[in-house]
């Protein structure tokens, strides 16, 4: 937590600097940041960026620690179709889609609402989809030491849709399988079977 407090402290008073930089970008693009339509744009963009990256100020351990419950349950728990958005760290363009999370507990479960919150914490940072997928799975594994964790993410990337290859219908799917989801094919197939109806075709 100490490093998060340090980040919060360092951010204090930097809002104006960020707004000034956004105004400078507008100038470099050939625009007039003082014209009516752009006058408040630096302020709006600064607030939007702060919201899009607020995950840096959130501790995933804290999010989960107040919602861990001892229970004798050893069947698969799935939370699927979790909507998310994030910013691609390569172009600062959004990517967005759905996340499906499963785990098999071993003495502890996580409050169901905390799993979407965990997805949110990691997605509201500059990301690549592959790392985001692994971070969610590893955070759950570390928090409750389950028998296994599985995360599948499907997303559309504006950096592919708006520029570069310009493929509007391309969909990226990533997965992270830990524990029994990695070692046991039947468990993995059960998970995929239970979520596939939620995956877009």
Q: Which residues are catalytic?
A: 88-91, 129, 157, 159
Residue listed under structure tokens 């100490």: 2
CB 84 within 8 A of CB 98: yes
The count of other CB atoms within 10 Å of the CB of residue 141 is 17
- Angle between helix axes 129-144 and 114-123 (nearest 10 degrees) is 140
Cβ burial of 149 (10 Å; 0-12, 13-18, 19+) is buried
């Amino acid at each position: 937590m100490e490093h998060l407090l340090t980040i919060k402290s360092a951010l204090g008073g930097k809002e104006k600097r960020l707004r000034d930089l956004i105004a400078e970008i507008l100038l470099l693009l050939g625009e007039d940041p003082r014209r009516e339509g752009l006058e408040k744009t630096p302020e709006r963009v600064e607030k939007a960026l702060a919201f899009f990256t607020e995950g840096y100020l959130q501790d995933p351990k804290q999010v989960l620690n107040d919602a861990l419950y001892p229970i004798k349950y050893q069947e698969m728990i799935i939370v699927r179709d979790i909507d998310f958005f994030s910013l691609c760290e390569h172009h600062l363009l959004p990517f967005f889609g759905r996340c499906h999370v499963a785990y098999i507990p071993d003495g502890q479960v996580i409050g169901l609402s905390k799993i979407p919150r965990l997805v949110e914490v990691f997605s509201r940072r500059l990301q690549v989809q592959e790392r985001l997928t692994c971070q969610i799975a590893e955070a759950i594994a570390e928090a409750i030491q389950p028998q296994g964790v599985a995360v599948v993410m499907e997303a559309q990337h504006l950096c592919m849709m708006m520029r570069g290859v310009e493929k509007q219908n391309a969909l990226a799917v990533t997965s992270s399988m830990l524990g029994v989801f990695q070692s046991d094919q039947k468990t993995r197939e059960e998970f995929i079977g239970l979520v596939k109806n939620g995956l877009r075709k």
